[in-house]
Amino acid sequence: MAKFFDVTAYGAVANGKDDNSKQFLRAWGDACQWNGNSVMIIPKGIYQLILFKHVDWLLVEGSGTVDGQGAAVWSRDDCKHNGRVCNPLPISMGFNFVKNSKIANLNMINSKSVHLKLYRSQQVMISGVKITAPENSPNTDGINIAESQDIKVQDCNIACGDDCVSMLNGNQNVEVFNVACGPGHGISVGSLGQSVGDGKSVGVTGLHVKNCTLRDIHMENADNPIIIDQHYCPSHSCNNQAQSSIQIKNVTFVNIWGQSSTPVAVNIQCSSKVPCSEFKLQNINLAYNGREGVAKSECLNVHGQSFGQEHPSGCF
Distance CA(75)–CA(57), nearest Å, equals 38
Sequence letter at residue 115: H
Instruction: Using the CB atoms, write b or e for 14-49: b if 16+ within 10 Å.
Output: eeeeeebeebbebbbeebeeeeeebeeebeeeebee
CB atoms within 10 A of CB 206: 11
Structure letter (DSSP) for residue 60: E
Report yes or no: 278 and 249 within 8 Å, Cβ to Cβ. yes
Sequence letter at residue 133: A
Beta bridge partners, 182, equal none
Distance CA(37)–CA(59), nearest Å, equals 12
Q: Report how far apart, in Å, the C-alpha atoms of 102 and of each of 15, 54, 151, 166, 210 are.
A: 28, 14, 10, 19, 20
Active site members? 162, 185
Report yes or no: 112 and 69 within 8 Å, Cβ to Cβ. yes
β-pairing, 172-177 vs 276-287, is unpaired
